[in-house]
Amino acid sequence: MLSAVRAASRAASAAAQQHRRSFRCSVLGAAGGIGQPLSLLMKLNPRVTSLTCYDVAPFVPGVGVDLSHINTGSSCIGYGKDDLKKALDGCDVVVIPAGVPRKPGMTRDDLFNINAGIVKTLVEGCADACPNACILIISNPVNSTVPIASEVLKKKGVYNPKKLFGVTTLDVVRARTFVANARNRDPALVTVPVVGGHAGTTIVPLLSQAQPHTTFTDEERDALTHRIMFGGDEVVKAKDGAGSATLSMAYAGAEFADKVMAGLSGEACVTECTFVESSITEAKFFSSPVTLGKEGVETIHDVGAISDHEKKLIADMMPDLLAQAEKGFKFAKES
């Protein structure tokens, strides 16, 4: 009797998990410093049924073979530069970390001329092969590449603002970690919204909304804000020319992809900060808390009650955020 109950329980659990594992996903730029660990984390995600890995690097089929040996329920295939359509066919979620990494002395704007063209090509592929997919842009400069993606999709006649996201999760991950460390708390139990954009001073952590509620001196607030804004520079400097934030970005990208899939699955109260088309400020694209649902973006929340200091940070950075978006729009329209 007991063995029959256990068998039934295992069968029910397997059936529930199989029902949940319903997403075909692709990582574009899967051979890079972000792409490989991101692909690994996607392969481990129980929501993923099928994973494809695309890159122009000739060894990316081997990345797919390597990942395919992992004993999780999803399949995995790597595709080279001539097989973008195969990689994207039927995808529900596409994560794009493709592009060149930052090096010491480089700003996100320095990356623009190379990465803008890469994102344009890959998003064109998405428009043709999986026009209904949620597209998650990691490639920097996000403040410009997301507007590029929107214009590409409009030209193709398939733009859905509910399904285009700039991944700003790493800013939130850093904010949670740095605030928790400053107060000797568990980062997993700390929340800190981060709004605005995803480059330098356009990154605005709302420390006044940190939970559990935390107070800071002005000096502590300023130091934490600066570190969150320029956490990427900290990693670039520490790696001494060997790369940028790859592992933490892969983690953040995988976390956000999981939340998007949770929303698509119909799970309730899935809210994450992300850079989306928005009307809560004068910026066409702005990162703020967004509730995710079965169609992607469900509700875009405003920044809520914030301190005068945070209001000034947003006001001061707004011209830069607008200019960086305009740079992306202009590139897409002229190319």
Pairing of strands 93-96, 75-79: unpaired
CA 143, 254, 123, 287 dihedral sign is negative
Main-chain phi, psi angles of 150, to 5 degrees: -65, -40
Please state, in angstroms and rounded to a whole number, the distance separating the CA atoms of residues 219 and 216.
8
Q: In the structure encoding, which two tokens stand for residue 318, read together?
A: 């707004």
Please state, in angstroms and rounded to a whole number, the distance separating the CA atoms of residues 70 and 82.
26
Tell me if residue 168 falls in helix, strand or coil: coil
Helix, strand, coil shares, percent, the chain, to 5:
50, 20, 30
Cα–Cα distances (Å) from 284 to 8, 102, 143, 269, in that order, read 52, 26, 11, 25
Does the annotation count 19 as an active-site position?
A: no
Segment (H or E) for 84: helix 84-88
Q: Which of 19, 69, 198, 226 is catalytic?
A: 198
Main-chain phi, psi angles of 75, to 5 degrees: -85, 165
Residues known to be catalytic: 198
